[in-house]
Amino acid sequence: MSVYTTLTLKEVQDFSSPYGLEVIDLIPIQGGIQNTNYFLVCENNQQYVLTVFEEMDDEGASELVPVLEHLGQSGLAVPVPLSHSGKAIHHIKNKPAQIAPRMMGEHPMPSTVQQVKEIAIAQAKMHVALKDFPLERKEYRDHAYWLQVSQEIKPTLNVADKALLAELLGLYEALTTVYPDRPRGFIHSDLFRDNTLFEGNQLKGILDFYELNKDELLFDIAITLNDFCTEYPDVILNEEKAVAFLSAYESVRPLTNDEKACLELYLAMAAGRFWMMRLQVAQKNLAEGRTGEDILQKNPLEMRNMLIERLKFISA
């Protein structure tokens, strides 16, 4: 949640007024890498989050609203956007924007075993709730998308990293052919600890659904398991937490045998995808001259090192 669009208090007050909000302060949010976000502080001490969509059009921003409403109705702690004039998405500085309640709590840094169980159960419930949800996004960031990104990034890699990428993709092709029963559905795609809020061991909020994507459920599991069960800069997976995560997840949705057979590979693939994503973002920020303290750029080497560690446990 970096700040790419700078807003004044007056601009935000004018935007927020039709929602019935009286904003007295705004606070830029650092963290995340795609949209501009501010905390809005109102006279009644209630707080909200203003999101300015930097790359989505109205249609892309609006399509997430019914998803969040559905998840909220399913008992999941998600920020359902506010509406006025019959819709949730409006415009500020000619960009789509929305306001949602601020969910309170802290990122689990580090996570406890009970927090790991909580997020695993919530993720499984989300997968079940969205199983047949009627939504078509303009673009799905599935394996075909990430394969294309990797090919675009590949010429910029050194020889060792090109070999690392080739090894990962080769293993993926080999193992997924042998184990095809890997269910697909809508996944969060970015369920890291910094997109969750806890009070103690109680999950209070799941944030940032802008990467919502139709893909294999196992990728979502791998992304979240990797992050919640790892303590950076150390990239070794905490086995106790990983076992707790999988047991809790399967209490809601049991994995298929093929998912279990591919899990270690997908832990590596998830690290590989985020390695590519962070390299892609770094290149885009450089090309567009995006700099400054309000621009967050996560370290690609974390994911590269995690990928190398995860590959140690895979045999094709």
pLDDT digits (tens, 9 = 90+) for 278-287: 998 877 766 6
- Which pLDDT does position 140 carry in this prediction? 79
If pLDDT is split at 50, 70 and 90, which confidence band does 292 have? low
Mean pLDDT for 49-63 is 90
- Which pLDDT does position 4 carry in this prediction? 83
- Which pLDDT does position 122 carry in this prediction? 98
- Which pLDDT does position 297 carry in this prediction? 62
Residue type, 290: R
Q: How many CB atoms lie within 10 A of CB 88?
A: 23
Q: How many CB atoms lie within 10 A of CB 152?
A: 13
CB distance 207 to 236 below 8 Å? no
Instruction: Please state, in angstroms and as integers, the Cα–Cα distance from residue 19 to each residue in 94, 119, 221, following that order.
Output: 18, 32, 36
- Which pLDDT does position 44 carry in this prediction? 86
CB distance 69 to 35 below 8 Å? no
Q: What is the pLDDT of residues 239-289, one digit of tens each?
A: 999 999 999 999 999 999 999 999 999 999 999 999 999 998 877 766 666
Q: What percent of the chain has pLDDT over 70?
A: 94
Write down all domains in the chain, each with its CATH number in brackets: 9-101 (3.30.200.20), 113-311 (3.90.1200.10)
